Amino acid sequence: MTCSRRKLLSRSQRQAAILQGAATAFATKGFAGTAMEEVAAASGITKEIVYRHFASKEELYRAVLDTTTQSLQAEFARASQRYQSGAGIRALLAVGRAHPDALRLLLVHAAREPEFAHYTHQVRTRVINWVLQRRGHDDPLFR
């Protein structure tokens, strides 16, 4: 008889796994349509374990959005230092490759959910402002 051994993760590793599973679950149905049981299943753990790390579904959703925004900002800063142009696209592609569900959640689902739309708005505003500063555009139509 073979038994599969549980892999013990550190707290930060477990939280990262939960965030990844949550991004996948939320990207399918959005915030309102996703139950915590679905997040737990996507993370390969029980709902109780999810609640040990995140007090509520809203806290977890915000944590996914915050983490994704931080990843996007870090990639954007890295790309801005290395390339004259295309930093925004390069950052989006890098985060999209590494965390496709989380990026879809940030740019698509959060934009449709009034309590989370400001996350999407902040990302768009930062990108537009960066382009305007780099290109010297002050055209209201472009904005």
pLDDT in tens, 45-67: 999 999 999 999 999 999 999 99
105-125 average pLDDT score? 93
**If we measure between CA atoms, which residue out of 70, 72, 61 comes closest to residue 116?**
61
Q: Is the pLDDT of residue 108 over 60?
A: yes
For Cα atoms 102, 56, 53, give the angle at the middle one, nearest 5 degrees.
75
Distance CA 73, CA 126 (A): 9
83-102 average pLDDT score? 86
Give long-range contacts, CB 8 A cutoff, 24+ apart: 74-80.
76/126, 76/130, 80/130
Q: What are phi and psi of 134, to 5 degrees?
A: -70, -35
For the record, the structure tokens of 130 come out as 């960066």
